[in-house]
Structure formats: structure tokens, C-alpha cells
Amino acid sequence: MKKILVLCTGNSCRSQMAEAYLRFYAKNKAVIYSAGIETHGLNPKAVECMMEDGIDISRHTSNNVNEFIGIPFDLILTVCDHANENCPYFPSNAKRLHQSFPDPAKASGSDEEIKVKFREVRDQIRIYCKDFVNENL
């Protein structure tokens, strides 16, 4: 069974969404982890927009990438440019893939405008994860 790490800056939004969608689409074909270069805590708006799509991430935790250094990953997927540029070395033959998504936590405007941005990014991540599983697992 493949081991996949999804990595972003703070493990609060994008990597959390990707972890959930990859688990959903991969079923039992892979073990999915997510982490950040830093930990910013789980973003409540990420939890809310994922619930709108029927996926509960409220029990996810924000993890630092160093917690997983000893795991022999098969794939490391970075979902933001900062994580791609600052991803630590993993002593494995993990294949690294990169797909940058906008950071919805940086959205500004009214509460509704921010929610729209979270939904847009969520939908981009959902499509990417479905395709990722079909192509890689």
C-alpha cells in the first residue's frame, strides 16, 4: 500500500483538504498523511467548506512535517510553492509532485467573499485529487 504525504505551509487548509479528498478517492489503496512546514492549526473555514461537500475534517490535526521524517513515503505532494521550495529531505525514494493552489486563508473581503474563495480552492483540490488517484494509484 502506498504512503502519501501532502505538504503545504501551515497544514491548515490546502493540505488538509487534499488529505481528505485523497482518502476519499483512494479508499484502501493508500495511507494518506498531511503536514506543514509550520503548524497553523486547522482553519475553521476549511472545516466548514469541506462539510458543505460532505467531508468532515473537524478531527484532523495540524502536523509538522518533522513528525513524519521516519516514514518511507512513496509520494510527496506539495500543494503550495512555499512548501515545494522548503520541503525537507526525506531519506526515501519518494517521488515528489507539485501542484500549487491559492491560499484561501489569505482571501479578503466580506465573510461571503472569503467563503467563495475557500469553495473555489476546495473544488480545485477535489478535481486534482480525483485525477491524482486515477493516474497514480
Which whole-number Å values give the CA distances from 51 to 24, 55, 56, 115, 136, in the listed order? 13, 5, 5, 13, 26
Quote the CA–CA distance of 57 and 48 in Å, as a whole number.
Answer: 9
Domain ranges of the chain: 2-136
Radius of gyration for the alpha carbons in the chain, expressed in angstroms and rounded: 14
Catalytic: 129?
A: no
Residue 106 in this model has a pLDDT that exceeds 80:
yes
Is-contact 113 107, C-beta < 8 A?
yes
Catalytic: 8?
A: yes
> Looking at residue 85, what is its pLDDT?
75
Q: Does domain 2-136 have CATH number 1.10.300.10?
A: no
> Looking at residue 88, what is its pLDDT?
62
Question: Which one of the listed residues 13, 49, 80, 129 is annotated catalytic?
Answer: 80
96 or 57, which is more confident: 57
Residues 6+ apart with CB under 8 A from 18: 6, 34, 77, 79, 125, 128, 129
Catalytic: 13?
A: no
Under the banding of pLDDT at 50, 70 and 90, the label for residue 105 is very high
Cell of 38: 509550520
Mean pLDDT of 89-113: 88
Place of cell 482571501: 107
Mean pLDDT of 101-118: 95
Under the banding of pLDDT at 50, 70 and 90, the label for residue 69 is confident
What pTM does this model have? 0.94
Note the pLDDT tens digit of each residue in 81-91.
877 776 666 66
Question: Which one of the listed residues 8, 13, 49, 129 is annotated catalytic?
Answer: 8
